[in-house]
Structure 1
Amino acid sequence: MVESTNIYAMDRLQADLAAHGAAFFAHYQTAGKGQRGKSWSADPGNNIALSVIVDSSFLSITHQFPLSVMVALAVHDLFNKYTTDETFIKWPNDIYWRDRKAGGILIENLVRSGALAGSVVGIGLNINQVVFPDTLKNPVSLKQITGKNFDTVALAKELCIGLEKRYHELKDGNFASMLAVYNQYLFKRGQQVRLKYNAAAFYCVVEGVSENGELLVSGAAKDRFEFGEVEWVLTT
């Protein structure tokens, strides 16, 4: 049990006590972290709560989106392997099965002398949990989809292997092809969705995501949005 695997991993990274590939798995977090300051809650022992240290020093501090693509693809690879090929990546990097959220990703960076010195990749993935808090609108787990129980530690190890594979793919200069796959599995691509911008909701069609991580849409006042500019308005 830890407060947060991301907090623990970042403490280790900042103290130079852990390097690329170090992974920290928790059966239970007392203060799991989600995107944009949100918390991440999960049943003890039933899910994946994993943080992995990644050497991101080869990336520009002004162009970090390739790291998000890499991680989202690795998590998608794992979840999709055990489901019915209906797993999607919801921009920027949530994992969805059909219209329900299966997991989330939080990447935190260590910056030294104005450059990326390393990153902590935090992954929360619903595996065996079947009862969720009412505050969560649309969760789903691997067990709910398949009816099977899974070994969370074994899956976390498999995820680490997949992360390393995708990492080398990125480092070898294959970002363009990785982004194409990311867009292939983009949640609601080609469909009309409802978003909220400056407190006003509107409808648009999701077209894709740019190499800079902008959500590309049609039928709206703007044709692209940066992360944090808009919120999804989901009915499920």
Structure 2
Amino acid sequence: MDSTNNYARGQIQAAGLPDRQGISLHGMVVFAHEQVAGKGQRGKSWVTGKDSNIALSVLIKPLSLRVSQQFQLSACAAVAVHHFFGKYAGDDTKIKWPNDLYWQDRKAGGILIENIVSGSGSWDWSIIGIGININQVIFPEELPNPVSLKQITGTHFDPCELARELCASLDQQYTRLCTEGFGPVYADYLSCLYKKGGWVKLRKDNRLFEALILSVTPEGRLLVKHAIEEEFDFGQLEWVL
């Protein structure tokens, strides 16, 4: 499969055809044993070797959320991934803003969410793409700091079984978001924020600067302090690790 997100998007498009009217796609999971053109943030690719990692996409119809609340779903997915991975990898598991999965200072996975908004402004669909390194131990040289669950624990895992656990965690956190509101999910997100209270190097445009990570706002902006306190939207900053 080229990309689970691409396949999921195709299912949404096919659902509008006359012979597919009424098909229920909400909650559908697309899992790839091998992915050759996975999508990452900032247009980067995510290649998944055969039966080595988790590569999946979940289709969500966010009826209880507004378009302006997209970060709530992003944080919900990040918390679900964190809870799942942390069960095996321990307390060194963190979420790097906005929704990368980190263990210590190494990247174990990431989330790419693609939203489909209608011309009238309604939030029709969300495709939550998740990639997590499970059994992979050899990575491309251009990846600066990868790590897998096998490298952390010394154990070989069944990616399909772990994918089921991950989906259960996603279902639990999404249900909590819909029934209890964003507060509990947001608190969990902040509690496991990578480098919170620490100094990091960031790049904005061509300017490199050090900043203290303070928090993330409920709207999803990173709050940092350098010369002044400042908020940044995703896409405005690049971490320098």
TM-score, scaled to structure 1: 0.95
Paired residues, number? 233
- The one-letter amino acid paired with 1:195 is L
- SS of the aligned residue for 1:78 comes to helix
Partner of 1:125: 132
**Are 1:214 and 2:221 an aligned pair?**
yes
Partner of 2:6: 7
Shift of 1:25: 0.5
- The one-letter amino acid paired with 2:117 is V
Structure whose residues are more often helix by fraction = 2
Shift of 1:221: 4.3
Rounded Cα–Cα distance in structure 2 between residues aligned with 1:195 and 1:63: 26
- Seen in structure 2, the aligned counterparts of structure 1 residues 20 and 192 have a Cα distance that, compared at 3 Å, is same
Rounded Cα–Cα distance in structure 2 between residues aligned with 1:197 and 1:19: 39
1:83-232 superposed matches below 5 A:
83-112=89-118, 113-232=120-239
Shift of 1:19: 1.2
Rounded Cα–Cα distance in structure 2 between residues aligned with 1:84 and 1:68: 22
Is the Cα–Cα contact under 8 Å of residues 115 and 123 in structure 2 kept in the other structure?
Answer: yes
Is the Cα–Cα contact under 8 Å of residues 36 and 48 in structure 2 kept in the other structure?
Answer: no
Partner of 1:65: 71
- The one-letter amino acid paired with 1:5 is T
Shift of 1:70: 0.5
Is the Cα–Cα contact under 8 Å of residues 190 and 207 in structure 1 kept in the other structure?
Answer: yes
Rounded Cα–Cα distance in structure 1 between residues aligned with 2:111 and 2:157: 20
Rounded Cα–Cα distance in structure 2 between residues aligned with 1:106 and 1:49: 11
- The one-letter amino acid paired with 1:13 is I
Q: More deviation in 167-176 or 199-208?
A: 167-176
Rounded Cα–Cα distance in structure 1 between residues aligned with 2:227 and 2:239: 14
Structure 2 residues not aligned, in runs of 5+: 16-22
Runs of 4+ in 1 over 4 A off after TM superposition: none
Report the identity percentage: 51
Rounded Cα–Cα distance in structure 1 between residues aligned with 2:50 and 2:38: 12
1:30-41 superposed matches below 5 A:
30-41=36-47
Shift of 1:233: 0.7
Rounded Cα–Cα distance in structure 2 between residues aligned with 1:218 and 1:56: 34
Is the Cα–Cα contact under 8 Å of residues 110 and 132 in structure 2 kept in the other structure?
Answer: yes
Structure 1 residues not aligned, in runs of 5+: none
Shift of 1:10: 1.0
Q: More deviation in 221-230 or 43-52?
A: 221-230
Rounded Cα–Cα distance in structure 2 between residues aligned with 1:115 and 1:14: 17
